[in-house]
Structure 1
Amino acid sequence: MALNRVTIDPITRIEGHLRIEVDLDANNVVRDAYSSSTMFRGIELILKGRDPRDAGLFAQRICGVCTFSHYDRATEAVEAALGVQIPDTARLVRNLLNASLFIHDHVVHFYQLHGMDWFDPVSALQASPAKAAQVAQQYAATPFNAGQGTYEAVQARLKKFVESGQLGPFANGYWGHPAYQLSPEQNLIMLSHYLDALKVQRTLAQAMTVFGGKNPHPQSLVVGGVTSIMDVVDPSRVSEYLFKMKSGADFVENAYMADMRMLGEVYRGEAAAGIGAGVGNYLDYGGFPQDNLGWPRAKDFFPGGVILNRDLNHIAPVDANAITEDVTHAWYAGPDKGVGPFEEETILQYTGLEPDGALNRAGKYSWIKAPRYHGKPMEGGPLARFLIARGLKAEPQASLMNEFEQQVGWKPSYWFSTVGRTAARALEAQALARTVPAWVDELVSNVAHGNTQTYAEWQMKDGDGFALRSAPRGALGHWVKIRNGQIVAYQAVVPSTWNASPRDHLNQRGPYEEALMNTKVAIPDQPVEVLRTIHSFDPCIGCAVHLFDAAGQEIGQFQIDV
């Protein structure tokens, strides 16, 4: 049977460079899929020879979105290698920084990066603002910035935008595509919240700066704790953080969750059909520690665990020794089978594309390695975390899932879908937004009882260490080896490495690839359905370190002496 190859390169509205190739049959159903990172990321090599105290500052440059995640993980990995135990107040500050990151990241992802896979802004021009105000009342008791006047202003702004011909983020969209199912009024509500989110994300970023100093790339983490002691003991600074986070929480509760209930209801058929389900295996290391114990941890707000074959009745603990990376189909040299992060190396072996420009599917075709857990591909992210929490009956996650199902008429099986993956991210923002005030109270109580130490003294020594925790997009691990005061080996296995991985030596597809299987594409040259599933993972492909011209030739190499 002849198949039609569709290539999407680059996939937009993400961090980095991602290429997806799918093969469609005569009915435009995906019969095969390949995921390729097309630019190299070299932070692991850059870290070799560096002072371990600088690991976090370099590692957070892996990404311009979830910068704190890599900063925190790299710092923790060094602390593990050196046997450093941070003070409890420092743990609380790191959790509060992380909470602002997670909520900010999820809001930005849905509205600015993923939302237009679901709503059609052009359709909003045909909406009735009065009717839209009524529709908004169906999904929230106190809808965010809603009302006929608000929607009239948004519609007028959109009309002026369209008439100018300068469409900006709305340019080149597949507007009017049959995959869009929201009514004009629902599209107007979503568009209004898209504009609101531009302001809300700024407020949430400002919350991080209270304890982090700046955003992106905060500066207050050090090996041994945090440096923001003056902010911790200043009631006005703590109140400023809480005020900004509560402002973000209002948006999460009354806009983000309202929109997700609307999507869950309208796209319930896609959820029921399991479109975009993926590999069915889920992994998370756990996140937001509630005590200062090392690995493995028993008290995390996000409990860690492993799910195989969608079996929520058997949640296994994570075995760090079971994590490997396979380079069979990645542009690196190494053994045919997977190697653990402490043993593997990052040796480039670029073999190029096929003569016609297609991926070399039988050989190497991606700059992303293939992480595996006991040899199996694993999906990470908010859906993985919520499924693990539901299996373990952890709160508030289990109750939030039950509540959402009742509100939108879902069955538990509906979560195994692109829509479910998208909804879980909103629920995670809601769970954190509701919990942050209690963590602030705990910090205030610590300070009131004189527990103001935010840094623990330590001594440099040789050691190997790793840190495994949740990041917004999934399971994030950093591994480091320290000898004579220098980093001699470094590996980071990041969420999008797990999710965007190519095939392995057993020819098992990665989660992106498997999630696209059997997807029906209405219009092959307008593959909204493919983009929707890929974006639901919140892809974050690392930034490049080489410059190429249009013909693919290297322009030059640059060495900077620091």
Structure 2
Amino acid sequence: MSIHPEKNAGIALCEGNLFIISVLRAKGRVARAWSTGKMLHNMNYLLGARLSGEESFFAQRPHCLCNAGHALAATRALERLIGIRLPESARLARNIVHALQYLLDHLTHFYLFYSNDWLDLAAALRASPEKTAAFAREKSPSLAAGAKFYQEAQGLLAALAAGDGGTVFSVGKAGHPAQNASPEASLLVLSHIQPAMDIRTKLTRAQGILRGALAANATWHIGGLPQSASLTGGGNPDLSPTARAACAALLGECRQFIEGTFLPDVLLVGGIYKDWAAVGRSDAFLSWGEFPGPEGGDALFPGGVFTVKDAGQAAPASPDAVTDETDPGWAERDKDRYRLRFGPGETAYHWRNDDFRWFSAPRHAGRACEVGPVARIVGAYGRANAMVRELADAALTALGLPLGALDSVIGRVLARGIESVACIRSVTAWLGDLDRCLDAENPVLQVPFTLPDSGEGIGLAELTRGALVHRIRLRNRRIVAHEALVPSLWNFSPRSGDGIPGPLERALLDIPVADPANPLELLRVIHTFDPCNACVLRVEDADTGRVTSTNAK
């Protein structure tokens, strides 16, 4: 990976960050966009002690997002440095635990973090429970519930809106022109918030069986599963047949919800906002690949760099092809917006801590690449993964959309639903494989290894949000560099010195903005890339000369 500490000190990015998104609105649409911000740099001061094998444990601590995924990437970096070939039991356990995290994230993101971008809570509270029940039966037999269910859901939603739900459950100004969902459609989907949280609890319990009760995830143990793992019960983690059967039962309940409720909810939103399949394109995609198969087998989501049209001929994705421009040669107008030098009377942004550095512009062989669910789904589709193709074709056919529609705002929503079903089906299969592996005579749980004195290892992982790479460099058994390139930098990167915009900047172009003071449409685009990050939205209105700023989550 062509990132050099001696040239760009502290390029490692932890995820204490703030995003500032500026757009120029002209004739009601986004004419130009700038994405910038700062991140806390450099984990080296936390990990610069002697190499002990506990680096994956500590790698979780500097990150406020996707902690477990950072630990996985750090573990893989050390295993590659050491030259470890993971035993089958550990491969399966890791795949299961990591895929369950995808499901936890997708449910949280859809129902809690951005459902109110598309659905009107105020409208849901005035919907008819009887009409909603009829509407649900019409949409899908799996969604059918009686009027009493929707009446009780309205009561819960009203209590959340009146309590301490904050902006997530607040009832804002009703009637935003971008919200087209009917009261019944809004109530139908929002009524599933509590059931979705109940399923999250079950997913967490299933995940906990395999990762154990250790402070660090036991499945991220270097070289395989830890010595404390037990196949007969009472260990940490407990991998006994009884525990695995309990895990399978939980997954059965989760699968029923994900296939019968979550995916239909996603398709319902996609159908209502079908016009959002024509906007928000980013063009190029990158995935490192995730959920490896057995030795010599294909990963569930293969790696590559591609567009939707050429996904079948994806170029290899390699950290060695990554460049990371830290100070692009922008034109003055762009430089002012990227460095937040605005006019008199506007908000001034100051960081007093030098550990925070401006966003850089990562590129793969010169291409600005989107990372995340669309990249993984389209990549798997292009490589003829039968399950992913079947799920994607069924979803797109149901909405009357072509494959190219996945490269869009609503396509990113659909990809979350498709990926969730692919993951829960795969987890079910992997758990069966793990049963056969652990029930065999003398199963191998870990491989012995010796920590080297010096070397370099690169660990690649796909978080729910997208591509992550960790690089660990040793010298005399000390970590001299521990760097990370995180998904947010790919998706939210500024334009590079040659003028190529980042994926979000490109996707924001031509997005309609009805009310600059309430730019709901911009939030939709941002949240479909990444619903976790807080940001400030600046809208410069060329038609009125006004500038408005909005704090957003």
TM-score w.r.t. the length of structure 2 is 0.84
| Pair 1:304–1:52, CA change in 2 (3 A) | farther
- Cα deviation code 1:252-288 (max 9, x no counterpart): 11221011111121111221xx21112x001111111
Q: What pairs with 1:91-110 in structure 2 (closer than 5 Å)? A: 91-110=91-110
Cα RMSD after superposing both structures: 2.7
- After the TM superposition, list the runs of 4 or more consecutive aligned residues in structure 1 that deviate by more than 4 angstroms: 160-168, 214-217, 350-356, 539-543
Residue number in structure 1 paired with 2:333: none
- Cα deviation code 1:60-87 (max 9, x no counterpart): 2243442221111100101111112221
Q: Contact 1:34–1:502 at 8 Å: present in 2 too? A: yes
| Pair 1:542–1:317, CA change in 2 (3 A) | farther
| Pair 1:140–1:68, CA change in 2 (3 A) | farther
Residue number in structure 2 paired with 1:327: 326
Q: Contact 1:15–1:541 at 8 Å: present in 2 too? A: no
Q: Contact 1:212–1:219 at 8 Å: present in 2 too? A: yes
Q: Contact 2:124–2:154 at 8 Å: present in 1 too? A: yes
1:388 to 342, 360, 379: 379
- Cα deviation code 1:275-319 (max 9, x no counterpart): 1112x00111111111246xxxx6201111110474334222223
Q: Contact 2:113–2:532 at 8 Å: present in 1 too? A: no
- For 2:152 and 2:430, the matched residues in 1 are separated by 38
CA-CA distance at 1:320 after TM superposition? 3.1
Residue number in structure 1 paired with 2:503: 511
Q: Contact 2:44–2:479 at 8 Å: present in 1 too? A: no
| Pair 1:49–1:527, CA change in 2 (3 A) | same
- For 2:387 and 2:218, the matched residues in 1 are separated by 31
State the SS of the aligned residue for 2:479.
strand
CA-CA distance at 1:413 after TM superposition? 2.5
Q: Percent identity?
A: 32
Residue number in structure 1 paired with 2:18: 17
| Pair 1:102–1:160, CA change in 2 (3 A) | closer
Residue number in structure 2 paired with 1:198: 197
CA-CA distance at 1:162 after TM superposition? 4.8
- For 1:256 and 1:189, the matched residues in 2 are separated by 11
Residue number in structure 1 paired with 2:281: 277
Q: Contact 2:42–2:483 at 8 Å: present in 1 too? A: no
Counterpart amino acid of residue 497 in structure 1: L
Counterpart amino acid of residue 32 in structure 1: R
Residue number in structure 1 paired with 2:9: none
- For 1:15 and 1:490, the matched residues in 2 are separated by 17
Does 2:396 correspond to 1:405?
yes
TM-score w.r.t. the length of structure 1 is 0.82
Q: What pairs with 1:133-172 in structure 2 (closer than 5 Å)? A: 133-143=133-143, 146-162=145-161, 169-171=168-170
Q: Contact 2:21–2:35 at 8 Å: present in 1 too? A: yes
Q: Contact 1:65–1:105 at 8 Å: present in 2 too? A: no
Q: Contact 2:43–2:483 at 8 Å: present in 1 too? A: no
CA-CA distance at 1:205 after TM superposition? 1.8
Q: Contact 2:212–2:238 at 8 Å: present in 1 too? A: no
Does 2:458 correspond to 1:466?
yes
Counterpart amino acid of residue 280 in structure 2: G
- For 2:185 and 2:328, the matched residues in 1 are separated by 43
- Cα deviation code 1:65-118 (max 9, x no counterpart): 422211111001011111122211111111111111111111111111121111
| Pair 1:519–1:426, CA change in 2 (3 A) | same
- For 2:52 and 2:463, the matched residues in 1 are separated by 22
Residue number in structure 1 paired with 2:548: none
How many residues are treated as equivalent by the alignment?
A: 498
Residue number in structure 2 paired with 1:243: 249
Q: What pairs with 1:395-474 in structure 2 (closer than 5 Å)? A: 395-461=386-452, 462-474=454-466
Flag structure 2 segments of 5+ consecutive residues without an equivalent.
Answer: 1-14, 231-236, 330-337, 351-355, 536-553
Counterpart amino acid of residue 58 in structure 1: F
Flag structure 1 segments of 5+ consecutive residues without an equivalent.
Answer: 1-13, 331-349, 544-562
- For 2:502 and 2:238, the matched residues in 1 are separated by 43
Q: What pairs with 1:52-131 in structure 2 (closer than 5 Å)? A: 53-131=53-131
- For 2:511 and 2:73, the matched residues in 1 are separated by 36
